[in-house]
Amino acid sequence: MKVLSIDYGSKRVGLAVGDSSLKIAVPKGTLKNNSRLLEELKRIVMESKVEKIVVGLPLTPSGKEGQRAREVRAFVERLSRELPHIDIVLWDERYTTQEAHRRLRGKKFEKEHIDALSAQIILEEFLESL
């Protein structure tokens, strides 16, 4: 099954795609979080034949939901209205950004790389749980 992972941010949205049977995930870049975001995500879902979407849920270190988590839940609600036939799963994304920074240590990178790599890490964790 094809899976799309989303690392939702207020400015950029990191993306990764993977396959549940192969248990691989690769970064797919970023999209700007603007009025075209949902349209772009729908296009990617259709073109890539995505069957499931995993969205990172930013919990606090203690596991509670704060303002950012509420924003992600609101985004998922809008996304599920646009893609009612796609299963959307929320996934604890604590420490994925730190892990992305660790993986890129010593390498030159743009902020977009961190967002896409964070989406990849979210997807790797999800696929490993299957």
The per-residue pLDDT for range 23-78, each reduced to its tens digit, is 999 999 999 999 999 999 999 999 999 999 999 999 999 999 999 999 999 999 99
The tokens 């396959």 sit on which residue? Answer: 19
Angle at 93 between CA 51 and CA 106, to 5 degrees: 110
Contact 91, 112 (CB under 8 A): no
Q: What is the pLDDT of residue 121?
A: 96
Mind listing the pLDDT tens digit for each residue in 73-119?
A: 999 999 999 999 999 999 999 989 888 888 988 777 788 889 999 99
Q: What is the pLDDT of residue 48?
A: 95
Phi, psi at 105, each rounded to 5°: -50, 130
Query: Band of the pLDDT at 20, cuts 50, 70, 90?
Result: very high
Query: Band of the pLDDT at 21, cuts 50, 70, 90?
Result: very high
Does the model's pTM come out above 0.85?
Answer: yes
Q: What is the pLDDT of residue 3?
A: 98
Contact 5, 15 (CB under 8 A): yes
Mean pLDDT over residues 17-25, rounded? 96
User: In terms of CATH, what superfamily is 2-129?
Assistant: YqgF/RNase H-like domain (3.30.420.140)
Nearest-10 Cα torsion for 85, 40, 45, 124? -110
First to last CA, the chain: 12
Question: Which SS3 state, helix, strand or coil, does residue 77 take?
Answer: helix
Instruction: Determine the Cα–Cα distance for residues 24 and 41; give it in Å rounded to an integer.
Output: 20
Q: What is the pLDDT of residue 77?
A: 98
Domain-wise residue ranges, the chain: 2-129
